[in-house]
Every structure is written in structure tokens, then in C-alpha cells.
Amino acid sequence: AQTVTQSQPEMSVQEAETVTLSCTYDTSESDYYLFWYKQPPSRQMILVIRQEAYKQQNATENRFSVNFQKAAKSFSLKISDSQLGDAAMYFCAYEAGNQFYFGTGTSLTVIP
Amino acid sequence: NAGVTQTPKFQVLKTGQSMTLQCAQDMNHEYMSWYRQDPGMGLRLIHYSVGAGITDQGEVPNGYNVSRSTTEDFPLRLLSAAPSQTSVYFCASSYSYRYEQYFGPGTRLTVT
């Protein structure tokens, strides 16, 4: 079975600082995709960033970037210049064969 | 462009009752899916569809049925509600399963 592990249930960061959220996954597939989704208190799920496993280059979207280590099966999310609006639950997700698997989430608090 | 809509937003059922959660999208997406979100467990895939007339099981399909007669609609049926089905249910759609999923606002279901 595929599994996605987020080992940090809660994290906090000072406004304008940088924080890294961890994610590891277990798979025997070679072709797959990885995602980070954000869920603010409104409950709406929003895509933050997407990574294709066959691409070695780490994905970047403005203040959000990933550190993708395929051999280690690690996919961490770095948020730079944290803003109050970044406070949310963050989920790491893995896709292979039409199916998605989500981690249990990391709750991020941004301290003014 | 309404995106992904779900009805109802809240529902309370008694054990043994049946009901249908509605999901519709107006983006002409082929891939649609249903998830349940439980505290401490992230999102788990219930059923998914890669196009009209094609559905398949996800990680936790027991107790749920789906059908996809049109591209737009993907209803989820609870056959005989059980307290273990108390959860928040999300519907999502995407152009393809490897692209960004757009989530609906969720349905909070309580089974007593």
C-alpha cells in the first residue's frame, strides 16, 4: 500500500521567516506525481505546488518551493517570507495509477 | 463559472438511512473523485471516475456507491448509513488525474 507520512502535526513560524514542512512517501512506482495542498479554516482545499517525479528540478511557485529527493522518497515544502494568510493545514499528497494518497497534515501557525 | 459544487453543506442521518451527496462541476473535467476527511487521518479516496460511465474504487469504498452518467455530475450514495461514516466529504475534479484537483466546499455528515 502507498503511504504518505507527515511527521510534524503542528509547526509555527514568525511572520516574514522561513519554514519547512516535511513529507515522506512509500512507493514502488517510478512514475508518479506529488502535491502540496493548503486547507485554511474555510475548509477549501487549494493546490500549493505540484512536482512530477521524473523531473529532477524542484518545483517553485512564488514563495513556495519544494525539496524533492526521489531516492530518499522525501518531498518537503519550504515557505519563504511567511505571511499571516499562510496559516492553514498543509497536506502532502501522492498520485499513482489514478489514485491519490494524502498525508495526515501539518497545522501551520504564523506568529505576527 | 461555479467550479465544483456540493449539496448539501450539512446533513444529519440516523443509522440505516440512505442518502445521496451531490457533486457537480462546470469545467468539463474528465476526472472526478470523492474523499472523506476525518480528524488526524487526512483525506482518503472513496471512489473516482476518469470519465462518464467509468468509475473505480479508491482506498475506502465500502458502504458507498457512485455512478457517472454525465461529465458534469458525480453523486455519492450512502446505502445504509453507519456512525463510522460520520465525516466531512469532499468532491474534486480535474482535467486529468495528474493535474490540479479543484475541490468543492465539502459536506459535513453526522450519522447518529
Residues of chain A positioned with their CB less than 8 A from the CB of B103: 44-46
B44, B48, B88 ranked by CB distance to A98: nearest: B48
Which is higher by pLDDT, B21 or A1? B21
What pLDDT shows up at residue A99?
A: 86
| Partner-chain residue, chosen from B56, B100, B106, that has the shortest CB–CB distance to A43 | B106
Q: Which residues of A touch B48 (CB under 8 A)?
A: 98-99
pLDDT for the residue numbered B98: 84
| A100 with B33: Cβ contact below 8 A | yes
The 3-state secondary structure of chain A reads CCEEECCCCEEEEECCCCEEECCEEECCCCCCEEEEEEECCCCCCEEEEEEECCCCCCCEECCEEEEEECCCCEEEEEECCCCHHHCEEEEEEEEECCEEEECCCEEEEEEC
Q: How far is A102 from chain B (nearest CA, A)?
A: 6
pLDDT of amino acid A56: 84
For B26-75, strand residue ranges (E) read 31-38, 42-51, 54-57, 64-66
Give residue-wise pLDDT tens across range A79-91. Answer: 999 999 999 999 9
User: Confidence class of residue B15 from pLDDT cuts 50, 70 and 90?
Assistant: very high
Name the residue among B68, B31, B66 with its Cα closest to residue B53. Answer: B68
How much is the mean pLDDT over chain B?
95
Q: How far apart are alpha carbons A62 and A52 in whole angstroms?
A: 18
A 80-99: CB under 8 A from B: 91, 93, 95, 98-99
CB contact (8 A) between residue B98 and residue A95? yes
Joined grid coordinates for residue A80: 519563504
Query: Is the Cα dihedral B18, B103, A33, A65 positive or negative?
Result: negative
Q: What pLDDT does A81 receive?
A: 98
Of B44, B99, B105, the CB nearest to A43: B105
Residues with pLDDT less than 70, chain A: 1-2
pLDDT, one tens digit per residue, over B27-75 is 999 999 999 999 888 899 999 999 999 999 999 999 999 999 999 999 9
Q: Which residues pair with A97 in a beta bridge?
A: none
Q: Choose among B44, B56, B100: nearest Cβ to A98.
A: B56
Hey, which residues does B19 pair with through a beta bridge?
B78
C-beta neighbour count of B51 within 10 angstroms: 12
